[in-house]
Each structure stands twice: as structure tokens, then as C-alpha cells.
Amino acid sequence: MTISVARTADELRSLYAPGADRAVVMTMGALHEGHLANMRTARQRLTPAGQLVVTVYVNPLQFGPGEDFDRYPRQLDADVALAEEGGADIVFAPSDAEMYPDGRPRVTLTAGPMGAGFEGAERPGHFDGMLTVVAKLLHLTRPDYATFGEKDAQQLALVRRMVRDLDFPVEILPVPTLRDPDGLARSSRNRYLSPAERTTALALSRALFAARDTTGGPAGRLAAARAVLDAAATARPPLALGYLALIDPSDFTEIGPDTAHAGEAVLAVAARVGTTRLIDNVRLTLGTAA
């Protein structure tokens, strides 16, 4: 079956098959293999008659001043082709006027304390805009399942919390981070990196893997990662570290180097190479969970 493209909510609803279960993969376009992994995860949970919807929308609410909203890649024809390759039935690609008919919405969601640190501190207002558009798209697509990548760990934690706190009738499916053979996490922003910048950027994954492969508590893991990042800070071009932190994924609070934390943790890093800002993380288990 040929994939269908809907540009309005009415067109989207007209494409729904009565009684079919549905999954959504939310994207800002510039689709890559990481998005295809989300589609595969969603398709695996659907019944054979289920419908997979891929949304393509560059949401202005989650971009701050000086960020790359204007230069963010927009390539709908290529995205539709890749979504069809990934098994999607529908691409929903609304305009700004469709999503926000009165301009910037008067009522929005707030990420609260969980969104205040890390990416939220680096990008004030980003998570409020992200949660607002995710909530709107969940209402518009009405899915049984929605996938979110583990690479955006804070986003995943916040969406899970929003769904729980506000009783959205959807199951959130986490999708492991997809990496290139050299270890760099797949991201639409990787295309901005020059060859030399990409070489420097590989320090992010090397630092995370060094911490993952180190035994012991938070202090030792952090020290192993920081040694790699400190070396990259002297590379040409250099890596400018934004943050490196061990985080409790349940509430996205920081685990201090001397904290006796037992159980799951996320080691997250953000850095800038040239003009491109990158994030990455790995999942760890610290101590012995009770």
C-alpha cells in the first residue's frame, strides 16, 4: 500500500482504519536510521492491521533564541520516502498554522523541576515547548503506542512523567540509541559536523563507554569519562563541554560522586564542537538494587 500524507487534522482522521490499533513516531524530519529503528519498534508492537503514523513537524516552541530553527533541515519528500521504507502507513506533516492557528498558544505545558536542569538549563523553555507539541500530537494521532529514543534521555523521562501524571492513554516505547560504526550517536545534527569536528565529537561516546566499562561507584565512573573529555578539550577543533552528569532516570536528579545510589542510572553528556551542540548518554547500573 502506498503511504498517505496528511497536512491537516481532518485529513489525518480520514485515513484512520476503524478498529485498528495505532502507533506514532514523532519526528522533526530529516529522517535517518535512528528514526527507522523507532518505526521498527512501533511496528513490532502493532497487530498486522495496525497503522503506523510518522509525524514530521519542526516545532518552533522548542527552539530558543540563536538556535538552529531556521536552518533545521526540511526535506519532506525524502522523509516520506524513508517513512514508507520504514513501514509507515501515514505521514502527518502539519503547517505552523495547522498546529498553532492563533499563533503562539496562550496555554502550554511546563516541564517543572524535572525539566529545569541539564538540557533545560542549557535551553530554557525547550522542554515546555516539547511537551506542549507532544501533548498536541498525542491528541491528534490518538495512538496506542508512541516511541521515543533513549538518546534524548531527559525528553524520554519527561514524556513518561507527563503521560503518567496527566493520564494519557498511551504506552511509551523506549528505543535504544543507534550509533554509527565509529560510535557517534545518530542525530540529524551530525550533518553539520565537518570531518575534523566529527573526529573530535567521537570523544562523547568514548567517554561514556569508558565510564560504562569502569567498575565502582559514581566517582570512578565520572573520572573515567572526564579524562576522555578533558583530552578532547585540547583537540583541534576542541570540544567544549556543557555538562557531564550521573542522573537518576526516575526524576532526573543528579547523583553526586559520593552518593550511595543503587540501581539504574544514566550518564549524560552535552558538548559543543564548532557550532554544533551534541548530546549522548549510556545506561548504567550502580551498586546493588534493593
Farthest-apart Cα atoms in the chain, separation: 59
Cα separation, 185 vs 246, in Å, equals 18
Amino acid identity of residue 121, one-letter, is A
Say if CB 288 and CB 257 are below 8 A apart: no
Of the candidates 35, 126, 139, 261, the residue annotated as catalytic is: 35
Angle at 260 between CA 254 and CA 266, to 5 degrees: 40
> Is residue 35 annotated as a catalytic residue, yes or no?
yes
User: What are the DSSP calls for 232-289, one per residue?
Assistant: HTTSSSPEEEEEEEEEETTTTEE--TT----EEEEEEEEEEETTEEEEEEEEEEES--
Q: How far does CA 243 lie from the centroid of its chain? A: 17
Q: Is 23 in a helix, a strand, or coil?
A: strand
Calculate the CA dihedral of residues 249, 255, 218, 225 and round it to 10 degrees.
70
Active site (catalytic) residues:
35
